[in-house]
Amino acid sequence: MLPSAFDYHAPATLEEALALLVEHGDEAKLLSGGQSLVPLLKLRFAAPAHIIDIGRIPDLSYIREEGGFLRIGALVREVELERSELIAKRYPILKDTASVIADPLVRNRGTVAGNLAHGDPANDHPATMIALGAEVVARGPGGERSIPVAEFFQGLLTTALADDEILTEVRIPAPVEGSGGAYLKLERKVGDYATAGAACWIVLAGDGSIASARIGLTNLASTPVNATAAAAHLVGRKPTDETLDKTGELAAAATSPGKDRRGSVEYKQEMARVLTIRALKKALARAQGDVRSRP
């Protein structure tokens, strides 16, 4: 099926893009990598009168550490995370995530910010960003604001972005000593959406107990799951098998998946439990400095 007719705009600056959003309101859609929007256009699940392509705006593609944060620009593509030495060394959970998104064709075009802004709980980055305690930067006519990722996803394909705002940057706190994270995904075949996915981030205390933790889950509810009770169970405890098993159970209990061709509700919840435990073990190995656990 062919998309319905639309007017195409290619602004050269962020200010011009914002002006177009204000002018055309809810009749406009933003295009960056296009890997979420273009399929919707082709199926006519989306039929905007105006497409605003921000892909030519300069200075929106960067990966750098600055001011205590990893800063990822809006136009950074998945393949750039895969290939970045900084990401592999300091943020391997991001390489875990980017490398299992769809296929190389999609990763060569799709952007990290677009993956988040689409608001799809089946996308992989939302759970990872929850685990990392990330925030997104939104720019609108009234200026710039920062939104914690834990508050960003408000419903199926719905985010905290206003109609006249553009997600310009993702900010992730720089890792501290004794920290580690991992993302694991179960899929029916390479390139598929996750049947279930788990992203875990932990910080170890000096005595080997867990000082802090966050857990995000993929495609197990109408929004990415922030498994706060499961993460809280880890804090102050040593990472014994008993502790990890209970954490996995609490993570599964936080989910509300639907039955579909990928599996029953019970199967998906069991996979949430299993993947959480496995991701925690991998995160622990990284926090303890096991080089074999690096991507």
Place of tokens 């995370």: 81
pLDDT of residue 295: 75
pLDDT, tens digit, 9 for 90 and up, residues 189-216: 988 999 999 999 999 999 999 999 999 9
pLDDT of residue 39: 87
The tokens for 175 are: 């890792």
* Mean of pLDDT values over 248-263: 97
Q: 289 — phi, psi (to 5°)?
A: 85, 20
Quickly list DSSP for the chain: -PPPP-EEE--SSHHHHHHHHHHHGGGEEEESS-TTHHHHHHTTS---SEEEE-TT-TT---EEEETTEEEEETT-BHHHHHH-HHHHHH-HHHHHHHTTSS-HHHHTT-BHHHHHHT--TTSSHHHHHHHHT-EEEEEETTEEEEEEHHHHEEETTEES--TT-EEEEEEEEPPPTTEEEEEEEEESSTTPPEEEEEEEEEEE-TTSSEEEEEEEEESSSSS-EE-HHHHHHHBTS---HHHHHHHHHHHHHT--PPPBTTB-HHHHHHHHHHHHHHHHHHHHHHHTT-GGG--
Percent of the chain with pLDDT over 90: 91
- pLDDT at 291 exceeding the cut of 60: no
Contact 215, 239 (CB under 8 A): no
Query: At residue 225, what is the residue type?
Result: V
pTM comes to: 0.96
Mean pLDDT taken over the chain: 95
* Least confident range of 41-45, 158-162, 241-245: 41-45
Pairing mode of beta strands 69-73, 63-66:
antiparallel
pLDDT band at 15 (very low <50, low <70, confident <90, very high): very high
CA distance readout (Å), 193 to 39, 114, 130, 261: 14, 16, 18, 12
pLDDT band at 292 (very low <50, low <70, confident <90, very high): low
* Mean of pLDDT values over 76-98: 97
- pLDDT at 109 exceeding the cut of 60: yes
* Mean of pLDDT values over 39-56: 91
pLDDT of residue 231: 98
